Amino acid sequence: MKPAEKQNARPALDGRLLLKQLEMLGEVGGDTTGREYGFPAGKRTRLALSDGDKTGRDLLVRWMKELDLKVRIDPIGNIFGVLSGEPSGTEELSGSNLENALMIGSHIDTVIDAGSLDGAYGVLSGLAVARAFRNAGIQPRRPLVVAAFTNEEGVRFQPDMMGSLYFTGGISIDEALDTIGIDGVRLGDELNRIGYSGDADPSLLIPKEYLELHVEQGPVLDSENLDIGVVEHLQGISWKRIEIAGTANHAGTTPVSMRHDAGYAAARVIVFLRELARSAENTRTTVGSFRLQPDLINVIPSKAEFTVDMRDPDNSCLVEGERRLADFLVRLADEEGVTVLTEILARFDPVQFDKELADSIESSARKRGFTYKRMTSGAGHDAQMLARVCKSAMIFVPSKDGISHNPAEFTSEEHLLMGAQVLLDVAFDRLYAAHEIHAT
């Protein structure tokens, strides 16, 4: 391409390669299971810092280097591929920071028996944006960073979104590295084992703007036959682990009136949470993990351990839900003669995304003739952490029947490419901001 042609070029998406890379990364972890982490066998499984996660990371880094991106890894294993902007000193990683950068990112770790798109779609679409600039022979006016954050899912190590939480100053590196996983291993040791304990200073990598493209993980866009979601808000999230201690006794000889049944007490909590959600407009409650001890058919449970996931887009409503649950647990302990212990696993306030970025997403969708709507995300994402330190926004594409965290997770190729095209449009407009395009 001649220099004059480069100056008038607009980066074009290589959709075929994006889809191929999604397929390739989706195959990683397909031969692993969740048994070693205390879960049933799964199909696609890339728990954070597992062997499957390492293989996926190696593949991503290889693709970044093929695009001649500068790869940097921070102390918690977050991966960053940097496409430098026009020479100004600020885009160099040797001493200055990337405060003027646009970052595009998500994660590549998965749950047990996962779908192929959650997280990976956002990271590889960011890579597709960088590739479009490279293929057009255009150097951005300011840096573009493609990011893959560690342990977004929070399955093996808690809390979730740990990599982006550390990146934005929400947790110390010592606390993060000392986290013990569900399989009893220390996060820092696993990070070293797979070779992804880096030394890049996250304070030098904080961007000016952040974009994240994701499948919706909910039924709204699919049920309304819409192409693009312009995400304005993220729900607040409250995660707790509750332990109820009762008294084990014979199931046949102990009168109901004399029981201190941890299993029954836990069941009362589950029913209470469902009624709490029904009584509130937007509060959602879930008990996703549940275990009894001694787990025998003829013994009254002496202990129940379970998790509570509570969400609401209004922080005052989330706080009210948390208060009502706490009050109920006090009454429950007294009425059933049990001991109740509560541990906070994670607590994140609702997030309001940047209006200017959301407007840019809507503008792209409208100009391309895609149907769209403004919406709230019910799931947590790395974007809610980045919103603490920079302008942030998210783009959604439909997920068939709202299914996610499941092998049945599906988004059509057409919609995958629509979302990536909107991402490229917004990135191009933000990076050039109506200035003349400068060719490399």
The answer on 20 and 139 residing in a single domain is: yes
Q: What is the DSSP pairing of strand 339-348 with strand 236-245?
A: antiparallel
Domain boundary (316, 348, 380) is at 348
* Residue pointed to by tokens 């885009």: 91
The answer on 58 and 207 residing in a single domain is: yes
User: In sequence order, what are the residues at sequence separation of 6 or more whose Cβ sits closer than 8 angstroms to the Cβ of residue 76?
Assistant: 150, 151, 162, 163, 166, 167, 173, 176, 177, 191
Tokens standing for 107?
């994660």
437 within a domain of the structure (yes/no) = no
> What's the confidence (pLDDT) of residue 8?
52
* Residue pointed to by tokens 């036959």: 225
Tokens standing for 133?
């600039």
344 within a domain of the structure (yes/no) = yes
Burial 355-370 (b: 16+ CB within 10 A, else e): eebbebbbebbeeeeb
> What's the confidence (pLDDT) of residue 31?
60
264 within a domain of the structure (yes/no) = yes
Domain that holds residue 287: 236-348
The answer on 135 and 77 residing in a single domain is: yes
Task: Give the containing element (helix H, strand E) for 211.
Answer: strand 209-215
438 within a domain of the structure (yes/no) = no
64 within a domain of the structure (yes/no) = yes
Integer Cα distance of 354 and 274 in angstroms: 33
The answer on 219 and 357 residing in a single domain is: yes
First to last CA, the chain: 11
> What's the confidence (pLDDT) of residue 2?
44
Burial 142-173 (b: 16+ CB within 10 A, else e): bbbbbbbbbbbbbbbbbbbbbbbbbbbebbee
Integer Cα distance of 289 and 359 in angstroms: 39
Cα–Cα–Cα angle for 6, 12, 14, nearest 5°?
A: 130
> What's the confidence (pLDDT) of residue 369?
98
The answer on 379 and 324 residing in a single domain is: no
> What's the confidence (pLDDT) of residue 128?
98
The answer on 335 and 295 residing in a single domain is: yes
Tokens standing for 369?
């003739």
Alpha carbon of residue 27 to chain centroid: 20
The answer on 360 and 317 residing in a single domain is: no
Integer Cα distance of 154 and 75 in angstroms: 18
Phi first, then psi: give them for residue 316, nearest 5 degrees: -65, -35
320 within a domain of the structure (yes/no) = yes
The answer on 178 and 53 residing in a single domain is: yes
Q: Which residues sit opposite 148 in a β-bridge?
A: 79, 106
The answer on 100 and 70 residing in a single domain is: yes
211 within a domain of the structure (yes/no) = yes
The answer on 354 and 316 residing in a single domain is: no
The answer on 424 and 292 residing in a single domain is: no
pLDDT means over runs of 10, the chain (440 residues)? 52 97 92 56 84 97 97 98 75 58 97 94 98 94 96 93 96 98 96 98 95 96 98 92 98 97 98 97 94 98 98 94 98 98 91 96 98 91 95 97 92 98 97 52
Q: Do you find a cis peptide bond into 294, omega within 30 degrees of 0?
A: yes
The answer on 327 and 354 residing in a single domain is: no
Alpha carbon of residue 94 to chain centroid: 29
Tokens standing for 84?
């430098």
Integer Cα distance of 240 and 345 in angstroms: 5
Cβ contact 156:49 at 8 Å: yes
Domain boundary (318, 348, 378) is at 348
Cα–Cα–Cα angle for 94, 95, 96, nearest 5°?
A: 115
SS3 category, 205: coil
> What's the confidence (pLDDT) of residue 3?
41
Tokens standing for 225?
């036959």
Total residues found in the chain within this entry: 440
CATH number of the structural domain spanning residue 324? 3.30.70.360
> What's the confidence (pLDDT) of residue 62?
98
Q: Do you find a cis peptide bond into 398, omega within 30 degrees of 0?
A: no
CATH number of the structural domain spanning residue 46? 3.40.630.10
Domain boundary (298, 324, 348) is at 348
Name the domain count of the chain: 2
User: In sequence order, what are the residues at sequence separation of 6 or more whose Cβ sits closer than 8 angstroms to the Cβ of residue 373?
Assistant: 220, 221, 224, 226, 229, 230
439 within a domain of the structure (yes/no) = no
Question: Can you give the pTM of this predicted structure?
Answer: 0.82
